[in-house]
Amino acid sequence: EAQVTQNPRYLITVTGKKLTVTCSQNMNHEYMSWYRQDPGLGLRQIYYSMNVEVTDKGDVPEGYKVSRKEKRNFPLILESPSPNQTSLYFCASSLRPPRSDRAHEQFFGPGTRLTVL
């Protein structure tokens, strides 16, 4: 089944304890992205990747790192989580990176609910 998977789905952790949220897609998609969703603020892009070894900052990258060593995986790393990173996180992917005149359909993972105490 074509899908985007995320792990873990739920995580409660403490301030300062490094964590990684994994994202994997099995659709051979070139473009991948991370969003966070917060009440009243909607979904905001954290980082995106146009292809392997190509990553760039979105609107709210502070406190996060990403890597894209393989096409299928795009992990989100919180080196020193803080309570303001408590949020619902989504990974998304699309077949090709966007161009100025076309953007492909994006598919979302099931989400990761993170609580930082």
Partner 1 sequence: GIQVEQSPPDLILQEGANSTLRCNFSDSVNNLQWFHQNPWGQLINLFYIPSGTKQNGRLSATTVATERYSLLYISSSQTTDSGVYFCAVVGSSNTGKLIFGQGTTLQVKP
Residues that bind partner 1 (CB under 8 A): 31, 33, 35, 42-43, 45, 48, 50, 56, 58-59, 88, 90, 92, 94, 97-108, 110-111, 113
- Strands 54-57 and 65-66, sheet pairing: unpaired
Residues belonging to the chain:
117
The least distance separating partner 1 from the CB of residue 42, rounded to whole angstroms, comes to: 5
The least distance separating partner 1 from the CB of residue 100, rounded to whole angstroms, comes to: 5
Comparison of 47 and 81: residue with beta carbon closer to partner 1: 47
Kindly tell me the sign of the dihedral angle through the C-alpha atoms of 83, 84, 87, 90: negative
Comparison of 59 and 79: residue with beta carbon closer to partner 1: 59
Comparison of 80 and 95: residue with beta carbon closer to partner 1: 95
The least distance separating partner 1 from the CB of residue 59, rounded to whole angstroms, comes to: 7
Determine phi and psi for 83, rounding to 5 degrees.
Answer: -55, -30
Other Cβ atoms closer than 10 A to 46 = 22
Q: Are 87 and 44 in contact (CB under 8 A)?
A: no
